[in-house]
Structure 1
Amino acid sequence: MIQIYHNNRCTKSRQALAELESSGKAFEVIYYLETPLNKIQLKGLLSKPGIAPFDLIRKGEKIFIENYKGKILTDPEWIDAMVEHPILIERPIVVSGNKAVIARPTEKINEILV
């Protein structure tokens, strides 16, 4: 089943959700700010698109700017940061089986829907 890691306050995330709704495919919405991912879940999620933890970080977030900007952290340290501050996780993330995309732009969802 398709999953979307969603933040309803994010315009891009709402657009991705609308795209999934119009696709007619079954999907599950994961409100990752309300139910944060643990380290194991986050590592599993990162393995699907095959990206480094830093590539999943929202660099414009206040928490990033105040606490992490300019710092060089290891992959495990970036994962710890995202577990501690889920708002740092880029969104929306759409997953289907072993594939995942950060749906920015929204059209990237098409890589999952085919």
Structure 2
Amino acid sequence: MIKIYHNPRCTKSREGLAILEESGKEFEVIKYLEEVPSEKELREIVDLLGISPIDLVRKNESIWKENYKGKTLSDDEVIKALAENPKLIERPIVIAGKKAVIGRPPENIKSVL
């Protein structure tokens, strides 16, 4: 099953959702600001993406700038920050089986369909 971690207020996330809808494939929408991923889920997502946890952070968010910017954080500390502040999670994220991609730009999503 394909999953999209989606924020309806985000233009790129809405564009990503449209790509999935146009694909005709079944998928599950996870509104991650309401259904916050656990630290375990975030680790799994990072592993599937093949990135470091810090690469999943939206560094321009005020939460990041005010609380974390300039600090040296371990991967576990970054995961904990993401779980506690889901607004910091880069979006959209699409997972299809063992493949995952951040939909920035949204066209990236086509690579996992």
TM-score (norm 1): 0.97
- Identity value in percent: 58
Q: Which runs of 5+ in 2 are unaligned?
A: none
Task: Tell me the alpha carbon deviations over residues 7-57 of structure 1, each in whole angstroms, 9 at most, x when there is no partner.
Answer: 001000000001110111110000111010111111111110111000000
What is the root-mean-square deviation of aligned Cα atoms in Å?
A: 0.6
Q: Residue in 2 aligned with 1:108?
A: 108
Q: How do 1:1-114 and structure 2 match up within 5 A? A: 1-113=1-113
Deviation of 1:70 (Å): 1.1
- Give the counterpart letter for 1:18 in structure 2: A
Unaligned runs of 5+ in 1: none
For the residue of structure 1 that corresponds to 2:70, the secondary structure is coil
Deviation per residue, 1:45-83 (Å, 9 max, x gap):
111011100000001111011111111100000000001
**Post-superposition, which runs of at least 4 consecutive aligned residues in structure 1 deviate over 2 A?**
none
SS of the equivalent of 1:9 reads: coil
The CA deviation at 1:110 is: 1.2
Distance 2:62 2:71 in 1: 15
Aligned-partner Cα distance in 2 for 1:72–1:54: 11
**TM-score normalised per structure 2:** 0.98
Q: Secondary structure at the match of 1:48?
A: helix
Q: How many residues align?
A: 113
- Give the secondary structure class of the aligned counterpart of 1:21: helix
